[in-house]
Every structure is written in structure tokens, then in C-alpha cells.
């Protein structure tokens, strides 16, 4: 891929930064939360994440069925969950698109705790999506799998404390 890009005269130098991570597991000092679930827009799109204290991770379920790795059959897990709430609209009468430029509300879940966050995305497509605490500090995540879930404000969010 790199050789192909070089031959085309494209830069292969990475300029965008990703998320910032803590050097060791750090609770976010939020509300204790056992699980969260939301609907992506239909009866077959109910997504739930359940926290497991032993692994400090969240198992993903879809319509109450654990999501597993296709080869190992081991449940997939994430250390960090980011929920980005963004306006959406339907195009082509079928597909949902999200307006992910600007800023909005969201949630960060890690270690069985949840805090409210703010997401920001500039119009420059080379700039990454970033999440901030409510006091405008860039969010630091715990090392591990991180999943970003984008939902709209009309999606039902059910927090199980």
C-alpha cells in the first residue's frame, strides 16, 4: 500500500493524531453503571453493553445475543465505550446518515462508570473526531479496545445503574 501511494506521489506521512490513553487503568469517577442499551432504529437493532468487573470490560449483545468472534467464538469485549449523539436523517428512503461535523453531547463508559462528554469534529476531513470532558479537557481513555457508537437523539438510551 505504501509503495503504491509513493508511486502515485501521495504522502504516506501520518499527520492526524488519535485518542490519548492513560498509562495505567484510571477510573473516570463517574456514575456506576452496569449496562447501557440503545436502538439503532428497528426491532433487530437493539444493542446492549454489559460491564464485567472481572475483566474490566464490556460485552456486546445484539438483541440479547452475545456478539462473539467468528473464529474463536469468544465474546467480543471493549475496555472503553464512547457514545456520540448526533443528528441523523434518512436518505434514499432507507439509509441513515449522521451529521458528524460540529459538536454535541455524548457519554464515556469505562471501568463500570459513565461520564457525560462533548464530541467535536471540524469540517477538515483530515482532523480526527475528539472527545472532551465537560470542563473542556481532551478525554484520556484507558488502554484497550475502544468502540465509538454513533446514535441520534431520538434513539432510546437505557442506562442500568
Q: Report the distance separating Cα 129 and Cα 132, nearest Å.
A: 10
pLDDT, one tens digit per residue, over 95-127 is 888 999 999 999 999 999 999 999 999 998 888
pTM for the predicted model, two decimal places: 0.86
Please state, in angstroms and rounded to a whole number, the distance separating the CA atoms of residues 43 and 48. 13
Q: Which residues of the chain have pLDDT under 50?
A: none
End-to-end CA distance of the chain: 46
107, burial (CB in 10 Å: exposed 0-12, middle 13-18, buried 19+): buried
DSSP-assigned letters across all residues of 118-135: EEEE-S-TTSPPEEE-TT
Residue 99 CA from chain centroid, whole number: 16
Amino acid at each position: 500500500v505504501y509503495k503504491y501511494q509513493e508511486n502515485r506521489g501521495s504522502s504516506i506521512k501520518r499527520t492526524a493524531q488519535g485518542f490519548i490513553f492513560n498509562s495505567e487503568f484510571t477510573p473516570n469517577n463517574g456514575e456506576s453503571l452496569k449496562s447501557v442499551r440503545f436502538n439503532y432504529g428497528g426491532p433487530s437493532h437493539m444493542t446492549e453493553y454489559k460491564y464485567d468487573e472481572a475483566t474490566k470490560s464490556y460485552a456486546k449483545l445484539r438483541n440479547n445475543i452475545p456478539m462473539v468472534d467468528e473464529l474463536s467464538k469468544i465474546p467480543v469485549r471493549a475496555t472503553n465505550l464512547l457514545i456520540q449523539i448526533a443528528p441523523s436523517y434518512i436518505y434514499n428512503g432507507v439509509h441513515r446518515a449522521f451529521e458528524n461535523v460540529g459538536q454535541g453531547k455524548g457519554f464515556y463508559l469505562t471501568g463500570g462508570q459513565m461520564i457525560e462528554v462533548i464530541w467535536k469534529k471540524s469540517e477538515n476531513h483530515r482532523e480526527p473526531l475528539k472527545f472532551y470532558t465537560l470542563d473542556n479537557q481532551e478525554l484520556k481513555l484507558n488502554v484497550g479496545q475502544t468502540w465509538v457508537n454513533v446514535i441520534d437523539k431520538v434513539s432510546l438510551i437505557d442506562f442500568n445503574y
